[in-house]
Structure 1
């Protein structure tokens, strides 16, 4: 018996925002001062560090709850289940529904309630709630679903990670080029087949690290715009992640009882290509091993960083044959891992 993912779905927005589209932006330092380099140089340096050449944004008519429901529909169809039998809908996000040209985030009713409405689920015992856990939100939702099922409270859960970061970025901030939109979903339920979730690890570092990612004013100090935008201390996050995520991965793997040589894939939050490579390299160094080729699939180069959506969309795309030279087979042991605002870290060792 195991608690397994029995269906997956994702929504990748249709609009492609290429790096060249940022050449005409007015990028400024955090203090409002002018950046000396040309935008072409800024963009090229950005690509070298993050690996991002393009990202996806939702069209003006769509909201976060819309794309969350699109991914959910696909997961339900993939799992071949009756949607009325879902006990919990857990939606991980960070900014709610932010409509095009809106200055306000809307979270009442919850995104989960909106998704349930859009899915046309009538059963009142299907409980929907939102989960705010930074970029690791979808993985944390899967951990919570596992706890519900293991305790007997639920038999089947729908876990969604969905975000429209394009609606909360400061166009004067170089970091705005990182962020993107997307949604991924999974059905979690008890299975007669062995495997599924073998171990998990979660942690919140908030004593010094709580505000490494925050909401702040535009870099344009001449602007009268009082809206807040997603901001981060990139260097601090990089150092934090490299120091703490590899140890969390090792702890999770140790609890699972799986040997590192048996891990086939590590699906890590698509935050920054260089940072992710450094994290996984350090994880293998803790085992006195070299990072295997192809162990860490990446989609950030074409999809950007869509926060809670990166891991479930990556997983779904691999399963659907949409990531070149990447496959997951029955019985494979994989690791899901993420780090993000809070600062939160989590991981799951999973046998497919």
Structure 2
């Protein structure tokens, strides 16, 4: 028998404030429009956290929904992993704040920082904890408040990002050890630090002592994205012993509709096999995959037995993918 990390509950949280593209049109000096934003990104609106609303608070809200969906209590969870690039504090981790927020007094919690690829990295870590026997149930969360690190004078970046959180609970279950098993079948992680200058925040504790704002070379990121996302997903599918025709749903990082459609074209899959939420959420970085996955489940599109492939690329550059059966 093989131990698999099987999804048993999912949930998401979005801040109340919805920001349509029209708000950016009205910003003095930004020189953008709804048509310009939609044509380049596919984004129509996004959510921004309220004043005083933190990454950990959103993560707790998403976690509570995932626990409810799974029919579990916080005490049933052994570990929490939060993927985020926008923590409440330099330390302690957001994950320990979530642990406290849920009333957990046992287990362990830590953060993973791989920017937009963070949730994929967190899933891979959770899977490793489960298959090695270190945890029976792991709560995996992606949560971001990217609205706090925007340069509001840069129309090429500030219109792209949003805030939110998504949470997935993985549980150890014995399986036959075949590609028909439920749960995570394969993971693939990659990074190349030589591309740091393509996407970064120009601040930090040990350099400037400031938070900084996001800087991105959009054309270069796009150029790397489609190629690397296709490569990592293909590798993970091969590891899982399945092929592109077996995929029921692609649940990609929701960065840009052009990247998503370009990747789907490379896969040779129609867009109706892709869960797309970028139009409503914008790019929520590490939160985007669990948000999209939760929406897919909530809408009844993702069903038990469906084969999913998730893939993401973010600053670092860091990229990766996970193949799982729901």
Alignment of 1:35-54 (within 5 A): 38-40=31-33, 43-54=34-45
| TM-aligned CA deviation for residue 292 of structure 1 | 2.1
Deviation for aligned residue 1:320: 1.1
Which residue pairs with 1:188 in the alignment? 170
In the alignment, which residue of structure 2 is the partner of 1:35? none
Does 2:237 match 1:253?
yes
For 1:189 and 1:297, the matched residues in 2 are separated by: 24
Give the corresponding residue for 1:262: 246
Note if contact 2:249-2:309 (Cα within 8 Å) is conserved in structure 1. yes
Q: Which residue of 1 aligns with 2:153?
A: 172
Q: Which runs of 5+ in 2 are unaligned?
A: 176-180, 204-209
Q: Say if 1:26 and 1:171, in contact at 8 Å, map to a contact too.
A: no
Task: Tell me how large the CA RMSD over aligned residues is.
Answer: 1.6
Residue 132 of structure 1, aligned match among 94, 108, 113: 113
**Which position in structure 1 is the counterpart of 2:189?**
202
Partner Cα separation in structure 2 for residue 18 and residue 149 of structure 1 = 41
Matched with 2:87 is: 96
Is 1:151 the counterpart of 2:137? The answer is no
SS in 2 for 1:176: coil
Measured after TM superposition, the shift of residue 332 of structure 1 is 1.1
The structure 2 residue matched to 1:17, chosen from 19, 34, 40, is 19
Cα distance in 1 for partners of 2:38, 2:222 equals 16
Give, in whole Å, the separation in 2 of the partners of 1:311 and 1:152.
Answer: 26
* Conservation of the 8 A alpha-carbon contact between 1:202 and 1:347: yes
> Quick check: 1:56 aligned with 2:47?
yes
Task: Tell me which structure has the larger Cα radius of gyration.
Answer: 1
Contact 1:334 1:349 in 2 (8 A): yes
How does the TM-score come out when normalised to structure 1? 0.85
Alignment of 1:174-323 (within 5 A): 174=155, 175-192=157-174, 194-207=181-194, 209-216=195-202, 228-284=212-268, 291-321=269-299
**If the length of structure 2 is used for normalisation, what is the TM-score?**
0.91
* Uncovered stretches (5+) of structure 1, i.e. residues with no partner: 29-37, 98-105, 218-225, 285-290
Between 49-58 and 326-335, report the one with greater CA deviation.
Answer: 326-335
Structure 1 residues 271 and 187, CA, compared in 2 at 3 Å: closer, same or farther?
same
Does 2:69 align with 1:78? Answer: yes
Contact 1:159–1:187 (CA under 8 A) maintained in structure 2 = yes
- Aligned-residue offset at 1:27: 4.5
- In 2, Cα distance between equivalents of 1:107 and 1:68: 17
Deviates more, 1:174-183 or 1:192-201: 192-201
Query: Residue 275 of structure 2 contacts residue 293 of structure 2 at CA under 8 Å; is this kept in 1?
Result: no
Question: How many matched pairs?
Answer: 312
Q: Which residue of 2 aligns with 1:351?
A: 325
Contact conserved, 2:116 with 2:313, CA < 8 A, in 1? yes
